[in-house]
Structure 1
Amino acid sequence: MEESIIEDLIVNDREKLLDQLMDNYGQSLLQLAYSYVRNREVAEDLTQEVFVKCYQRLDQYQRKSSLKTWLWRIAINHCKDYLKSWHHNHIVISEEQAKQTPSREKEVENQVIQRYEDQQLAKAVMSLPDTYREVIYLYYFEELSIKEVSYLTGMNQNTIKTRLKRAKEILKDCLEV
């Protein structure tokens, strides 16, 4: 979105801006939250909470970064806070519930093979330690630059590069087995 439009919407129509943000970034934020919590229902709840926080704090947006980057920063911090919370550390989800995933079977053989490979990659990414998973997700899945990842995580750009390199090495080892 254009900065002048954003400015106008922040001042005059916050609900419309929030609707546009949800339309533009809702699915991406859901995927980001899922990459942290690994549970669809919890990720959906966190995504809703992020948009509520965004709405409540729109007047605090200082325009030092894009609105998307600001929103991602809120989401990352919210997910990290959740992972530290009592609720996350004391509520256990049954294995059966955690394994439930929607499936659309019986497609073309190549699509099945591709899906399997994608699942293996996703599983490998999700098995990475948080420090590596975070940078891999932001860099490859959200297609953010090293500079943007650095800003969002508060880490040095060289640290991001090192973690990306190490994460790729770990993924390569996992997927070659």
Structure 2
Amino acid sequence: MLADHVEGRHFTNKDDILIYLMNEYGTMVKRLAFSYVKDKSLAEDIAQEVFIAAYKNLDSFKGESSYKTWIYRITMNRSKDMVKSKAFRMVSLSHIMNPFKKSSTSTEVEVIRKENNNKVVECIFSLPVKYREIIYLFYYEDLKIHEIHQITTINTETIKSRLRRGKQLLKNKLSAEDLQI
């Protein structure tokens, strides 16, 4: 049954709900897809597929989870399917996810930060998927452990373990890179 109230808002039809979901989660869907496929155009294709699937299944959405976790799950499943179906090569990661805030520092410092950021992102993307997806959801999407559990259906203790192990692997990779932050 189609919900006429979505996360505190009233809608009259499926089209309005889809527009809301696309506006609310479109960027997140593309970023999450990119974290799997490492290609902007493929991530955009996955985002289209995610929202087509969401639209087709809006009538059967039971509300057992939030729309946010439902969209995350669809995105992860579509992304994993894409990765399984094609061979991927690394692409330039220079303009994706910038955890460093802009400041009024010198150009030299900004160049070093940008270069280090690229190395951090490359190191994250070089992690095995089971660690990368947990680190991405926890740090870049600011999800809590229980929200990651709802999305991935992975046991919360396993999530915590993968988060610890992923951080350790990342720390080791970054130490090997000898970053100047």
Mapping of residues 47-58 of structure 1, within 5 Å = 47-58=47-58
Deviations 1:99-140 (A, max 9, x none): 48669xxx8333322222221111110000011001111111
Instruction: Quote the Cα distance in structure 2 between the aligned partners of 1:100 and 1:37.
Output: 12
C-alpha distance 165-111 of structure 1, shift in aligned 2 (>3 A): same
Alignment partner of 1:176: what SS?
helix
| Residue 19 (structure 1) aligns with | 19
TM-score of the two chains, using structure 1 as the length reference = 0.83
Tell me which residue corresponds to 2:68.
Answer: 68
Distance 1:102 1:174, change over 3 A: closer
Tell me how far apart the structure 1 counterparts of residues 116 and 144 of structure 2 sit (CA, whole Å): 25
Q: Please name the residue that 1:112 is paired with.
A: 111
- Which residue of 1 is the match for residue 43 of structure 2? 43
Q: Distance in 2 between matches of 1:35 and 1:45?
A: 14
Number of aligned residue pairs: give it: 163
- Residue pairs, 1:4-15, within 5 angstroms: 5-6=5-6, 8-9=10-11, 12-15=12-15
Give the Cα–Cα distance (whole angstroms) in 2 for the partners of residues 52 and 71 of structure 1: 11
Which residue of structure 1 aligns with residue 165 of structure 2? 166
The Cα RMSD (Å) is 2.3
Provide the C-alpha distance between the structure 2 equivalents of 1:169 and 1:69, rounded to a whole number of angstroms. 27
Structure 1 residue 141 and structure 2 residue 124: aligned?
A: no
What residue in structure 1 maps to residue 102 of structure 2?
none
CA distance in 1, matches of 2:119, 2:94: 15
1:13-41 Cα deviation digits (max 9, x unpaired): 21122112111111111000000111111
Q: Secondary structure at the match of 2:65?
A: coil
Unmatched 5+ stretches in structure 2: 97-105, 177-181
For the residues of structure 1 that align with 2:41 and 2:129, how far apart are their CA atoms? 20
Deviates more, 1:111-120 or 1:126-135: 111-120
Alpha-carbon separation, structure 1, partners of 2:58 and 2:173 = 42
Aligned position for 1:31: 31
Distance 2:62 2:160 in 1: 28
CA distance in 2, matches of 1:109, 1:4: 53
How far apart, CA to CA, are the structure 1 residues paired with 2:115 and 2:51? 33
Please identify, of 113-122 and 55-64, the stretch whose mean Cα deviation from structure 2 is larger: 113-122
Residue 83 of structure 1: aligned partner? 83
> For 2:4 and 2:92, how far apart are their aligned partners in 1?
45
* Per-residue CA distance 1:52-109 (angstroms, 9 max, x = gap): 1111111121111111111111111111122222xx14xx66x7xx348669xxx833
1:124 paired residue number: 123
- TM-score, normalised by the number of residues in structure 2: 0.81
Q: Read off the aligned partner of 1:130 and give its amino acid letter.
A: V
State the one-letter code of the partner of 2:19. Answer: D
Deviation at 1:8, TM superposition (A): 4.2
Cα offset for 1:151? 1.8
